[in-house]
Structure 1
Amino acid sequence: MQAITYSEYGTPDTLTLSELPDPKVGPGEVLIRVRSASVNPVDWKLMAGYLDGLMQVDFPVIPGWDVAGVVEAVGLDTPEYAVGGEVISYARKDWVQQGTFAELVSAPVRTVARKPKSLDWHQAAGLPLTGLTAYQLLNRLGTKAGDTVLIHAAAGGVGILGVQIARALGARVIGTASEGNHEFLRELGVEPVVYGDGLAERVRELAPEGVDVVADFVGGVLDVTQSVLKEGGRHGSIADGAVEGAGGIAAWVRPDAADLQALADLADAGKLTVPVAEVFDLADAAAAYRLSQTGHVRGKIAIRVSD
């Protein structure tokens, strides 16, 4: 099979289109023929070595954790899926090596859900990691109908899905973003505010009594969070471990088939969509990484693997 690989830490220039043996499919796994994968910032951060102290990395690495595709084969004792089924997965294993930027990837069923019928392949591939990140934090914070929720970086990759999930839970959502993204957020039912100096005051203008929940998807905003949170409010971050010392939750996304299926069901109920900013062919993965590294992309970056 063809796959993108890197054999040492480095820049996008280290990515190579390689020919590799097809992966084995173990018990409790499915083999997925990849239609689309998506790029997340963690992919190039891993490649740069930034997470070397956190995760076991075995070279050569096939990058990527997000995938949408068709079940090619099933392993022993895997009654959940059959050949030909359309699936999505946050296919993160316990070590970094066998990723999704390939024609085939094996994935444990604990990471797999059925593809939403309402999303195309590229949209579906963009759902797992970012969707699960937002969904799991908002649920750990007990987000419910009637809550007022502040989402930091509401127009970012995780934020776009976070605001939709919070709205689907019945919450009122205030979201921080640059002015250029305000109309887009309004279309999602969000009350946008500009980040930067005076942010706390702008949030208080919209929620004079404070907010019930704060979900931080950018980091470095703990002071604002604390100044706008109601007494007894809940807050958490995916980017700032300091929240734990301030009564908050520091979250790291987990593969979870039930959570991923819940997100797929929200999409099919018309409550969740995944904007796609740009699609690259597999051979152009390095260009996709460079675009992600700019940090100025609204929507997901997809990797087209097969039609």
Structure 2
Amino acid sequence: MSRAVIHETFGGPEVLELRDVPEPHAGPGEVRVRVTAVGLNPMDWGIAARPEVAARFGITVPAGFGSDFAGVVDEVGAGATGFAVGDRVHGGTLGRAAAEHLVLKAPTEGPEMLFHTPDGVSDEVASTLPVAGLSAAAALAAIDLRSGDTVLIGGAAGGVGVFAVQLAKLAGATVIGTASEGTFEFLRELGAEPVAYGAGLADRVRALAPDGVTAATDLFGTETAETALALGVPPERISTIAAGPTPPGGVRPTGGFDARPDALERIADAIVAGEITVPIAATFPIEKIRDAVALQAGRHVHGKIVITL
């Protein structure tokens, strides 16, 4: 037998159960991964909590949980290519990552992803990369971020934000990040100038950037996008990842599936080079999955939450 997190109904963390399930095995053209770490994302608990969100991703109950993982290949089926037993890997598989064993096509196809994990990147860090890293890369690519820009990043202290801030700095941009005041020092350490979200945001941003903001990305809702429009940023230089398919004012909706094919590899290389750090706010054993999801859902985490197996 193996173990996996399952939910039979939609709801809060209490619906998540760690269950014994039949152990899967790699078939032709497939590999099996022994999972060692699962990185949590807000979309994970959104899917588990709200049937309308799950429906957008084609997920029905009973369902698994989680999207991002890291581990080691421990079975390779006939005809599978690119991976061997013992390879360290990380990747994404929507709605089923929180499990001891995962079986995936090799090479992967559709929304599933599997990459080799470079030496110098731990499994815990690797498990945080796919959704957050690709979403951040896509959000910045959509606005053609470049050296010399002053970019306003909404939700800068969150799981996607920590990547967006550092990628923007690497691109040569000046970064202003919206956050709660309790995260200001954390954001300064990442290289951003923090600003409190909420009423009066536009005035506070003007004070921080008297020469103006040239680009923006909103990683949480629409407040930052609306503020950027009010500050005169052209809509084609504003992106959103969590405002639905029709964000305000003609700004650009995007997501991880829009990222360049080499985006994750570039992020992993930057981590190895010490150019990007991945702050892990907390780790929980899989037996504490409910506690981990409750913390994630509180939206006050500085960085990423990881489940270990």
Same fold, TM-score > 0.5, yes or no: yes
2:149 matched to 1:147? yes
The residue type equivalent to 2:263 in the other structure is D
Check the 8 A contact 1:113/1:258 in 2, yes or no.
no
RMSD, aligned CA: 2.2
Q: Give the residue type in structure 2 aligned to 1:80.
A: G
Question: Is 2:38 the counterpart of 1:37?
Answer: yes
Match in the other structure for 1:163: 165
Tell me what 1:79 maps to: 81
User: How far, CA to CA, are the matches of 2:80 and 2:265 in structure 1?
Assistant: 17
Percentage identity across paired residues of the two chains = 38
Q: What is residue 47 of structure 2 aligned with on the other side? A: 46
**2:257 maps to 1:254:** yes
Aligned to 2:256, the other structure's residue is in SS state coil
Once residues 153 and 182 of structure 1 are traced to their aligned partners in structure 2, the CA distance between those partners, rounded to angstroms, is 12
* 1:223 aligned residue: 226
Contiguous gaps of at least 5 residues in structure 2: none
- Compare 193-202 and 25-34 and name the one that shifted more: 25-34
- Report if the CA contact (8 A) 1:141-1:213 is conserved: yes
Q: Does the CA-based 8 Å contact 2:213-2:228 persist in structure 1?
A: no
Q: Which amino acid aligns with 1:6?
A: H
Which amino acid counterpart does residue 68 of structure 1 have in structure 2? A
The Cα shift of 1:209 comes to: 3.4
Closer, same or farther: CA 44–50 of 1 in aligned 2, 3 Å: farther
The one-letter amino acid of 1:55's match is: F
TM-score w.r.t. the length of structure 2 is: 0.89
Once residues 79 and 152 of structure 2 are traced to their aligned partners in structure 1, the CA distance between those partners, rounded to angstroms, is: 44
CA distance in 2, matches of 1:28, 1:207: 54
| CA distance in structure 1 between the aligned counterparts of 2:103 and 2:122, rounded to whole angstroms | 21
- Equivalent residue, structure 1, for 2:19: 18
Shift of 1:232: 7.3
Whichever structure has more strand as a proportion of its residues is 1
Deviation at 1:242, TM superposition (A): 7.2
Offset, 1:78? 3.4
Matches within 5 A, 1:230-269: 230-231=233-234, 234-241=237-244, 244=247, 246-254=249-257, 258-269=262-273
Q: Deviations over 1:131-157 (max 9, x none)?
A: 111111111221122221110111111
SS of equivalent residue, structure 1 residue 186: helix
Give the aligned partner of residue 102 of structure 2. 105
Matched, 1:6 2:10: no
Any idea what SS the aligned residue of 2:46 has?
Answer: helix
Indicate which of 197, 200, 206 corresponds to 2:199: 197
The answer to whether the aligner puts 1:117 opposite 2:119 as a matched pair is: yes
SS at match of 1:254: helix
Alpha-carbon distance in 2 for matches of 1:228, 1:22: 55
- The secondary structure found in structure 2 opposite 1:36 is strand
Q: If the length of structure 1 is used for normalisation, what is the TM-score?
A: 0.89
Query: Relative CO higher for 1 or 2, CA cutoff 8 Å, sep ≥ 6?
Result: 1
SS in 1 for 2:305: strand
Whole-angstrom distance in 2 between the partners of 1:200 and 1:71:
49
Q: Aligned pair in 2 of structure 1 residues 76, 226: CA closer, same or farther (>3 Å)?
A: farther
Task: Give, in angstroms, the shift of residue 273 of structure 1.
Answer: 1.6
Distance 1:255 1:20, change over 3 A: farther
- 2:195, 2:156 → 1: CA distance? 10
The reply on whether 1:285 has 2:289 as its aligned counterpart is yes
- The AA in structure 1 aligned to 2:103 is S
Aligned residue identity for 2:71:
G
Aligned partners of 2:92, 2:236: CA distance in 1, in Å? Answer: 30
Counterpart contact for 1:114–1:264, Cα < 8 Å: no
Matched position secondary structure for 1:241: coil
Residue identity matched to 1:141 = I
Residue type matched to 1:235 in 2?
I
- Deviation digits for residues 222-281 of structure 1 (CA, Å, limit 9, x no counterpart): 321202244576001012237645231112322876322222112112121211111111
1:64: how far off? 0.9
- CA change 1:242–1:103 in 2 (3 A) is closer
